[in-house]
């Protein structure tokens, strides 16, 4: 969630600086790629010992760690691929609607 907020905030800042929606989304996603991947990777690596444990309580820890790692991987992909695309689509529709209303 936090990665998505950071990404969208950066994209909006780029738009305020005068970049078009398309360029702001592309540049924002590329610029924030490393920070988003690093936060997800660090969190996932922290759960690996739990995911491969065989000691007492491992029958509870292993599935939990697997779900968390999978969730982090999925959310990272969604943050980097789907979120910028949806943001661009929504902003383009808002812009188109604004221009259509303005011409009436």
d(CA 78, CA 85) in angstroms, rounded, equals 10
2-103: which CATH number, 1.20.1640.10, 3.40.50.720, 3.40.50.970, 1.10.8.60?
1.20.1640.10
CA dihedral defined by 15, 18, 20, 24, rounded to 10 degrees? -40
DSSP characters over 10-62: HHHHHHHTT--HHHHHHHHHHHTHHHHHHHHHHHHHHHHHHHT--STTHHHHH
Query: Mind listing the pLDDT tens digit for each residue in 41-52?
Result: 999 999 999 989
Query: For residue 103, what pLDDT band results from cuts at 50, 70 and 90?
Result: low
Its pTM stands at: 0.76
Give the percent of the chain with pLDDT over 70: 95
Q: How far apart are the first and last CA of the chain?
A: 39
Assigned token pair, 63: 């599935």
Mean pLDDT value across the chain: 90
Phi, psi of 19 (to 5 degrees): -75, 150
Whether residue 3 contacts residue 72, with contact meaning beta carbons closer than 8 Å, is answered with no
Query: Mind listing the pLDDT tens digit for each residue in 19-58?
Result: 999 999 999 999 999 999 998 999 999 999 998 988 888 8
What is residue 104's predicted lDDT score, i.e. its pLDDT? Answer: 62
């Amino acid at each position: 969630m936090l990665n998505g907020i950071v990404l969208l905030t950066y994209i909006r800042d780029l738009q305020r600086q005068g970049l078009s929606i398309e360029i702001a989304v592309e540049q924002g996603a590329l610029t924030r790629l490393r920070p988003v991947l690093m936060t997800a990777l660090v969190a996932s690596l922290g759960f690996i010992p739990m995911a491969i444990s065989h000691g007492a309580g491992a029958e509870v820890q292993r599935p939990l760690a697997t779900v968390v790692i999978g969730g982090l991987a999925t959310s990272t992909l969604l943050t980097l691929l789907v979120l910028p695309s949806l943001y661009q689509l929504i902003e383009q529709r808002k812009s188109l609607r604004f221009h259509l209303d303005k011409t009436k």
